[in-house]
Each structure stands twice: as structure tokens, then as C-alpha cells.
Amino acid sequence: MTQNPYTGRIVAISPHLDDAVLSFGAGLSRAVRDGAKVTVHTVFAGTAAPPHSPAAERLHAIWGLTPEQDASLHRRNEDIAALAHLGADYRHGGFLDAIYRKLPDGRWLADNVPGRQKLAIGEQSPQDDPELFSAVKAEITSVVEECAPALILTCAAASGHIDNKITRDATLSVAREKGIPVRLWEDLPHAIFAPGAVELPDGFRAGSPEFVSVEAEARTRKFEALRLYPSQMLMLHGPEKDFFALLDGHALKSAPSGGYGETTWPVVSREDNG
């Protein structure tokens, strides 16, 4: 794909604070440059009152935050700065990230993996918490009605993360009801380390993947925006791991003629194409 299809009014529905920029920040930057009005709404951006799960406390420490700091507020401020650097507006939802939620039996949904920064998130589907799914869908509906986009972007949720699946499925449902086209972004950095198939809920299918090439300026602006999430860069980038080199290397696997870019999939309602 050589021409930028992302023009007009765009709403990106992001599960977490930084997902949209990590996965499609260059595409968003290019869309803004070409005149699009872009709004990124992050669903799971609410502040959780203590006590927090041991997994959340460990992440807060890795992010360089003290127990007294409001981690979610800190990350929301990072997100505001990063999106402003791309030229995009922001909206922040009030739902709690999975690291702050509990299972019906009272156990924390997220648990530590000994010796690693990675967490274990309990296996769930959007149908396991219909009340949460319904509330997320209602919030996304409100954002879409406010912004009236010509295109909606959201995650492919190939990582299997429950927050991503809820966000994607609720967005697909709203988009179909409103008759708005949807494109899914490749979940980065997950796809670098553990690529997975795009498996959508009943009634939807993903079209062929499309690699969106961008100019060097858009790549640079994305990388600059990512550095405005210092809490997350402490996990992803450092003296022993060059995260930006990993992003470049991953893009080169799909780039038809070199250069940087990102992958998306169009979504088709099965009822629309038989």
C-alpha cells in the first residue's frame, strides 16, 4: 500500500495507555500530517485505589514509581504528552487495567511470573464478564457518537490479552451498528516476540494484512512519542536491549522495498459478504 487511506476523522480505540502509539504511531502521525483529525481513546486507563495486586506493585516499581504515586495518573500524563507529539487528541476511559482487577472468586486476575518482568493474566473471554463488556461498549459508543469518525482503528488482539479482546470486540460491535469501517493494528511489541493469528468473534473476518509504509519523518515522530512514555521504556528499552532496533527489524520483514511501516487488517462483517 503506497497511498495513505487514513484521512478525514479517525478514532483509535486503544486498550492501554501506549498501545496505539506502539502499534500504529507512525500511521497516526502520517494521517495527522495529511489532514486527518485523530482522536485516541484509551479504554483501560482508570485509577485503582490500593491495595494493589503484587503484580501491579512489581510493575509500579519497574516503572520507577513509588507506592505513594498514582501510577495510572502518571501514565495518563505520559499518554497526553505522547499523543500531543503526534498531533492527536486523547480521551481516557475509567476502566481498570487487568493488573488491578479481580476474578469472581476474589483472586487477582494478574499474577507474577517468577524471575521475569512478564505477568500471567488469567484466561478469560469477553463473555466471562458481560457487565464489563457492556459498559466498555457503551463508553466506546459515546466516543464514536461524539467524534463521528469515518474510520475506526483498534487492536487485533492477537496477543490474547483480555483487555485487548474486550476492546476489540466491543469496538467491532459498535462499528457494525454505526456502519463505520474498522481496521485492526498489529499488536506491538507482542507480534515481535510471539506473533499470533488474528481470530475475530463470530460475524467478523479479517481481510488480508496490509503493510502501511511511512516516510522517515513519521517513523521518527513515532519513536520520539514512545520516549514520552518513560515508565514503559524502562521495561522495553535500555543498554542491553534496543527496542527501536527491534521495531525497525520487525518492519523490514514486511517492507516491500525497505523503510519503516506498520501492518493493519481491514474488517469485514460476514453478514455483509455472505
Cell numbers for 133, please give them. Answer: 463488556
Domain that holds residue 150: 9-273
- In the chain, % of residues over pLDDT 70: 94
Place of cell 521495561: 235
Q: Convert the pLDDT of each residue in 88-144 to its tens digit.
A: 999 999 999 999 999 888 999 998 877 655 677 866 778 889 999 999 999 999 999
In a domain, residue 237? The reply is yes
In a domain, residue 245? The reply is yes
Cell numbers for 136, please give them. Answer: 466498555
Mean pLDDT over 34-42 rounds to 97
In a domain, residue 84? The reply is yes
Nearest CA among 12, 7, 234 for reference residue 144: 12
In a domain, residue 1? The reply is no
In a domain, residue 3? The reply is no
CATH, residue 33: 3.40.50.10320
Instruction: Give 271's pLDDT tier (boundaries 50, 70, 90).
Output: low
Q: Provide the pLDDT for residue 247.
A: 97
Instruction: Give 269's pLDDT tier (boundaries 50, 70, 90).
Output: confident
d(CA 226, CA 243): 10
In a domain, residue 4? The reply is no
Instruction: Give 155's pLDDT tier (boundaries 50, 70, 90).
Output: very high
In a domain, residue 31? The reply is yes
In a domain, residue 2? The reply is no
Cell numbers for 103, please give them. Answer: 476474578
Q: How many domains does the chain have?
A: 1
Which uninterrupted H or E stretch holds 56?
helix 54-62
